[in-house]
Structure 1
């Protein structure tokens, strides 16, 4: 069993049941599976082979889901990309992933075309809309008349997708998953949350994110659920569709919950159909969770504390546990996942002792694609070392106290400090640079640059922002800039960021 044949089975079981709604387009399970097969057979006719990498640079839409499943049906390996990437960042992922074909929204066609011109391995660019560049093709032009299931055998050990996350060198790392691992995550979600065929999901977080893609979208298709897909985050439209479609499952990052609670007309809508709320991708304070519980009038909230490399899986806090342990990451791992907090010697920590959160299970990534050294340091003796530092209380509940990898999470988006530091260190007026996250009431954290200027130099902040925009996605650009005479470093020259954070906090 995998996500390919379960979709085909659901199309046979209930072909007339509604599967997807996106803006003014909708698909029953029979119609959705048919267009997926037409696109899949069209990709085969185009010469896409099993095992080849196909990148998706698209905002949320029906065609994201169609493209994902079409690639999966022919055994292609899907590379979902953050649509906020600038050319430098996109080039790296396309090249490192060995992508041979890119499916994109027309908004990103020029960026992808520039990458194609510099990466010979990319044979074709396909756009959702009519292409604006000669030689590119539209999805409509690719669709085959053949609606039958592609004649490609899909095994559990066949690779399914590469989900990019940040790495220890600042370059993104691609977490590779095969069909069985993704199926295991779906089974784990179904077992943990009790998903069934009557579920109605609304997808508002980006589908290139592991959580929205695997925890929500593929798990929904697995049980034959209903899916409303939103291209942009718009509280008014979200509240409207929750009421209109009687949504039962709602996942969002903390920033989205905050903006929804701040929406002036939120009380005008009936949201009582939602029986399962979940949040993740960034820490959510106990105060904010309690505000959500009060507004939505239910304790049916799940905290999901995991990471892309885990499938994503990790620790969760159940609705019942929210009554007494709100603010904690949880005690138990999601179904099929084991959890420990360990000291540097590998032994489990005692209550009150800080250690590293590690995970084990059949949902964990296969490897970092083409990064054996990083894989070996992260996967050890069957355990995934997350880099997150946690502490257990007397009852075994875990609170995350820091991220040893210095990951900044701003509005649910992961920003790795080293990547931003690498870009800014090349600025001609910067002598030394440190990137840290500082607390922000709306975004959770904002990217903050602490800069040592070269002797005699005075950095213009407008020019600095323009420099950043040329080399970084918008969400990675520092929102705060501070200047210091020197940065705290130990005797080996390593930045002592914990000390820097305390200094910034006290100023």
Structure 2
């Protein structure tokens, strides 16, 4: 039984009653709220009708059956299970079942190119795979080429892939008792791949302890405004299967004793319907653009939608326009709270910025400057220069955000060089550029690799994008540095134009020149119909830089 009552150091929890395992998050609640709904699938986010609404007891039994079913297939502790799935109740419970079995989940973004998927299969060498039926045509080529066959199909958009079982078939008749496995809190339960916005995705190794710390830190934020913590009803319509959002926008629902509503895709109308029907109290909107879209939907039809239950909205990546916050408060009530988070796959415990807490700063700077506030209490964070010196006493000077926390990655799977580079000087180096203001609040500048070095000046692409998005003729914009004989890199705006206000390159440049320094003003505006993006809506700027790398050389050759 591993009863050690002598050692006071170098101990590891080996007993079922004291371990930290992500696979246990539902089981813990079966002893307090067994008949309370724990997981609710929105339309399109469940494959089998009996899984649309599950109590803690029902959901936990399915998790145990997944775990026992995988172990019965011969999988052993530490084996990898690859998932090629979008959001669904069944996919989510499969993740928890993988963790309960002492295995390692390898969720893969299904929008990745086939050669990248093949690379990730080779890197992780999975012993088992789970796919969505509707995604199988995209997965079939890399799976076949790399000798991987699905064992479970989530039958959304089709039936079982040949040779596999549907989720319901896989768990049918499988015992729902406790699997006999050893799990430690520091074991890796998930390899989450980074967005790959600057290079091939890297596999962040996530431990059970890391997930618990991240989830508990967010439970504190997500339960603001409700009377009891167990009243939390959390909506997750953005990706939670292959995105780090699973750590902070699913587990807190259970650690609070609340409920999780899973949506298939980030559709603002579906979110508005769910807020109304399910009395959602907290929503992760992702980008401010999605928050804007949700606010517009709610405001456009006051008779259809009732958002008064909504207390917390979390957004990220950019500052929320003050007008959007005003709309939410008008619709939801004065106790509605918006909070911006700033983190990454490797370190999701995050900074937080509350517009209500720093109202004057927010009203004065948003959306041009992206204040990201302060680190949460589980995260030690500094902004340092190239020598590792803290820049707190030099407000306004850009440096790199570095972290220490139990809720950061344990390293990059199979990549010692990248891990050594990231973890140096006793800190995890994020690759994000930030500054302090004169009160110690952090301001996001840019990803280091996205800073444009033009004519000896460093230009924040995020700052220029914030200005571009204020133009009524700009629907979406991304700013990159492109090779230029004179400037080294030329600040270049890539723009998707809006449909209601025709706009020209000269007009946009003039608009920016009135609001930005000369060295920050775009030298060119390139119009496109769409951007290469991650599923979370981040623009893959390295692809833009590759595609348009000769833009100025071509222009000079043409004499323009």
Instruction: State the TM-score, normalized to the length of structure 1.
Output: 0.79
Give 1:171's match in structure 2, choosing from 184, 187, 200.
200
CA distance in 2, matches of 1:487, 1:288: 41
Q: What is the DSSP-based 3-state SS (H/G/I as helix, E as strand, rest coil) of the residue aligned with 1:321? A: coil
Q: CA deviation at 1:194?
A: 4.5
CA distance in 1, matches of 2:545, 2:418: 30
Q: What is the DSSP-based 3-state SS (H/G/I as helix, E as strand, rest coil) of the residue aligned with 1:9? A: helix
The match for 1:363 is: 407
Change beyond 3 A, Cα 1:73–1:306: same
Contact 1:199 1:248 in 2 (8 A): yes
The match for 1:317 is: 353
The reply on whether 1:274 has 2:310 as its aligned counterpart is: yes
Which string of whole-angstrom CA distances, capped at 9 and with x for unpartnered residues, describes residues 226-256 of structure 1? Answer: 1111112332222122111111111111221
The match for 2:426 is: 382
The match for 1:158 is: 187
The match for 1:399 is: 443
The match for 1:332 is: 374
CA distance in 1, matches of 2:321, 2:124: 36
Name whichever of 189-198 and 50-59 sits farther off: 189-198
Contact 2:80 2:126 in 1 (8 A): yes
The match for 1:208 is: 241
Q: CA deviation at 1:114?
A: 2.2
Name whichever of 261-270 and 146-155 sits farther off: 261-270
CA distance in 2, matches of 1:340, 1:437: 31
Give 1:12's match in structure 2, choosing from 3, 7, 31.
31
Query: Which structure has the larger Rg over C-alpha atoms?
Result: 2
Give 1:21's match in structure 2, choosing from 40, 44, 66.
40
Change beyond 3 A, Cα 1:332–1:209: farther
The match for 1:229 is: 262
Change beyond 3 A, Cα 1:125–1:486: farther
Contact 2:102 2:189 in 1 (8 A): yes
The match for 1:302 is: 339
Please give the residue correspondences for 1:490-505 in structure 2 after superposition, counting only pairs within 5 Å. none
Gaps of 5+ in 2: 1-19, 44-48, 452-460, 470-477, 483-488, 499-525
The reply on whether 1:103 has 2:122 as its aligned counterpart is: no
CA distance in 2, matches of 1:4, 1:481: 43
Q: CA deviation at 1:123?
A: 5.3
Q: CA deviation at 1:487?
A: 9.0
Give 1:31's match in structure 2, choosing from 58, 62, 73.
58
The reply on whether 1:128 has 2:154 as its aligned counterpart is: yes
Contact 1:387 1:404 in 2 (8 A): yes
The match for 1:260 is: 294
Please give the residue correspondences for 1:460-471 in structure 2 after superposition, counting only pairs within 5 Å. none
Which string of whole-angstrom CA distances, capped at 9 and with x for unpartnered residues, describes residues 269-323 of structure 1? Answer: 211111211112455455554554455444511110111110x122111353242
Q: What is the DSSP-based 3-state SS (H/G/I as helix, E as strand, rest coil) of the residue aligned with 1:389? A: strand
Q: CA deviation at 1:98?
A: 2.1
The reply on whether 1:240 has 2:273 as its aligned counterpart is: yes
Instruction: State the TM-score, normalized to the length of structure 2.
Output: 0.72
Change beyond 3 A, Cα 1:400–1:128: same
CA distance in 2, matches of 1:465, 1:373: 38
Give 1:60's match in structure 2, choosing from 51, 71, 87.
87
The match for 2:72 is: 45
CA distance in 1, matches of 2:69, 2:83: 16
Which string of whole-angstrom CA distances, capped at 9 and with x for unpartnered residues, describes residues 209-230 of structure 1? Answer: 5453111112212222111111
Q: What is the DSSP-based 3-state SS (H/G/I as helix, E as strand, rest coil) of the residue aligned with 1:367? A: coil
Contact 2:388 2:425 in 1 (8 A): no
The reply on whether 1:373 has 2:390 as its aligned counterpart is: no
Name whichever of 379-388 and 109-118 sits farther off: 109-118
Q: Figure out how many residues of one structure are paired with residues of the other and give that number.
A: 448
Gaps of 5+ in 1: 422-432, 443-460, 489-506
Which string of whole-angstrom CA distances, capped at 9 and with x for unpartnered residues, describes residues 127-175 of structure 1? Answer: 1126454322322222143011211122112111111114597111011
Contact 2:21 2:99 in 1 (8 A): no
Give 1:2's match in structure 2, choosing from 2, 21, 26.
21
Contact 1:314 1:359 in 2 (8 A): no
Contact 2:26 2:59 in 1 (8 A): no
Which string of whole-angstrom CA distances, capped at 9 and with x for unpartnered residues, describes residues 362-398 of structure 1? Answer: 1110001111111111111331211111121111111
Q: What is the DSSP-based 3-state SS (H/G/I as helix, E as strand, rest coil) of the residue aligned with 1:351? A: coil
Change beyond 3 A, Cα 1:287–1:390: farther
